[in-house]
């Protein structure tokens, strides 16, 4: 099973097992890590699963849809590495992925 490394706002890095077919948001939510509300549950309609992807992993994390980009526009924490965790689908290619949970707006 792919492993991903998730850094919280406190700076702690957790190693999570992430099942292919689930999402980065689900892995973080199910691990109960702090700081990720994921209010809409993964339907790409809020921006409360905002993460910053490690620069080297941006391409592997895949393309962003217009909806996702517009939602991220609403966040003051958006930067060039911003993604919504619910829109990054776990595949074997993401084994080793590193993300940081974005600070709450």
**Binding interface with other proteins (CB under 8 A):** 20-22, 26, 29-30, 32, 37-46, 65-67, 70-71, 86, 89
Closer CB to other proteins, 56 or 66, in the complex: 66
Strand partners, 84: 50
**Minimum distance, C-beta of residue 49 to other proteins, in the bound complex (Å):** 12
Pairing of strands 98-101, 3-7: parallel
Cα separation, 61 vs 13, in Å, equals 19
Strand partners, 83: 51
**Minimum distance, C-beta of residue 21 to other proteins, in the bound complex (Å):** 3
Closer CB to other proteins, 13 or 45, in the complex: 45
Helix (H) or strand (E) holding 27: helix 24-31
**Minimum distance, C-beta of residue 100 to other proteins, in the bound complex (Å):** 21
């Amino acid at each position: 099973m792919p492993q991903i490394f998730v850094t919280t706002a406190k700076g702690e890095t957790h190693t999570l097992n992430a099942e292919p077919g689930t999402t980065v948001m689900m892995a973080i939510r199910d691990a109960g890590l702090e700081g990720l509300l994921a209010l809409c549950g993964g339907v790409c309609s809020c921006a409360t699963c905002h993460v910053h992807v490690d620069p080297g992993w941006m391409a592997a994390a895949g393309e962003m849809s217009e909806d996702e980009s517009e939602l991220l526009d609403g966040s003051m924490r958006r930067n060039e590495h911003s993604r919504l965790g619910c829109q990054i689908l776990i595949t074997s290619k993401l084994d080793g992925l590193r993300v940081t949970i974005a600070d709450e707006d």
